[in-house]
Amino acid sequence: MTHEQIHPLIKRVLENIEKVMIGKRNVAELSVIALLAEGHVLLEDVPGVGKTMMVRALAKSVGASFRRIQFTPDLLPSDVTGVSIYNPKEMEFQFRPGPIMGNIILADEINRTSPKTQSALLEGMEESSVTIDGVTHHLGKPFFVMATQNPIEYEGTYPLPEAQLDRFLLKMKMGYPEMADEMEVLNRVQKKNPIEELEPVIDLEELRELQMKCKDVHVDETIKRYIVELSNRTRTHGSVYLGVSPRGSIALMKAAQAYAFIYGRDYVLPDDIQYLAPAVFAHRIILKSEARFEGIGAEEVVERVMNRVPVPVQRLVK
């Protein structure tokens, strides 16, 4: 896809992120896609590969306010959403907004906290608003959550229920950097952390505009049908216990719109769908235990489904 031009504003953002995150272009790209599609991202990886750095770089590049919530088992929902405190001087309760009231939020180790707290965040993600003491507080616009999850620790964790997982537009892995890239990282951080010097390249207003424009990207009937066929096929696949929900289909379409937009196209291609389907679908699929024993992963299932569903090469005849 080299012959397509990346949208100039997005290009600036991506280049900005790359100053900090070396060799993680695809992760940065997916994050931007989620941001543009007004979705949220679940990052699953071991600590120390740069998840936080990624989010901070993104937040800084778009000039958004960045908040971080470190989830712990004793974290309370009010620690996330905010709390009303009595102000003796004013003689009334005053609302002190919690970390969720930012634009870009890093929800670190989301599976470490109790389901109660988790759901406070997830509700906010879904509704774009939180209700505290009967008052509805609208969240920032844009509102973008990047949750991280440590896949190796199971002790004392509260794995996200499937219904909650469904609310993330994408799930991705960071992965370790390449050797050369890692050396470059060392070079860059030797004197000082480059994140400190990062300047915003677009403002929030521009970001909102981009988000609006993404919705105008044409998704043809043929493509919609292709998306639906893909998700349908996951539901009937032999290794799958629970397939992709219609929410998953919507997510795939929105992500594809954003992806097409990034590459300066005003229509979605099957290629976009195929590129994004593993990231959008994999965490929404629950495999049968036999499949898990056989070592088949959800990504593999999505790949297989894609190989089986014919790509539309003709216009639909109505």
Interface positions with another protein (CB under 8 A): 1, 3, 218, 220, 222-223, 266-271, 274, 306-315
How far apart are CB 99 and another protein at their closest, in Å? 41
Closest approach, Cβ 282 to another protein, in A, equals: 17
Q: Which two tokens mark 142?
A: 């844009």
**Given the complex with another protein, which of 203 and 221 has the nearer CB atom?**
221
Task: Give the Cβ contact number of residue 209 at 10 Å.
Answer: 13
Write down the least CB distance from residue 314 to another protein, Å. 7
The 3-class SS string of 24-38 reads CHHHHHHHHHHHHCC
Of the pair 107, 217, the CB lying nearest another protein is at 217
For 264, list phi and psi in degrees, rounded to 5.
Answer: 70, 25
DSSP classification of residue 50: S
- Quick one: 133 or 266, whose CB is closer to another protein? 266
Compute the least distance from the CB of residue 135 to another protein, in Å: 46
Nearer to another protein (CB atom), residue 197 or residue 266:
266
Q: How many CB atoms lie within 10 A of CB 24?
A: 23
CB of 254 to another protein, least distance (A): 17
Start-end of H helices in the chain: 8-20, 25-36, 51-61, 77-81, 115-127, 162-165, 179-189, 204-215, 221-236, 246-262, 270-281, 289-294, 298-308
Q: Minimal distance in Å, beta carbon 180 to another protein? A: 27
Instruction: Retrieve residue 62's tokens.
Output: 């778009």
Rounded distance between C-alpha atoms, residue 42 and residue 51, angstroms: 10
Report the alpha-carbon distance of residue 57 to residue 20 in Å, rounded: 7
Q: Residue 93: how many CA atoms within 13 Å on its side-chain side?
A: 10
236/307 with CB nearer another protein: 307
| Closer of 176 and 267 to another protein (Cβ) | 267
Of the two residues 80 and 256, which places its CB atom closer to another protein in the complex? Answer: 256
Minimum Å distance from CB 14 to another protein?
22
Q: Which helix (H) or strand (E) holds 130?
A: strand 129-132
Helices (H), 62-114: 77-81
Give the 3-state secondary structure of residue 297. Answer: coil
Q: How far is the CB of 315 from another protein (least distance, A)?
A: 5
Q: Which is nearer to another protein, 59 or 219 (CB)?
A: 219
- List CB contacts of 260: < 8 A, sequence separation 6 or more: 217, 266, 267, 268, 269, 272
Place of tokens 């390449």: 178
Measured CA to CA, the distance from residue 104 to residue 140 in angstroms comes to 9
Please give the C-alpha separations between residue 153 and each of 113, 156, 186, in angstroms, as whole numbers.
Answer: 13, 8, 27
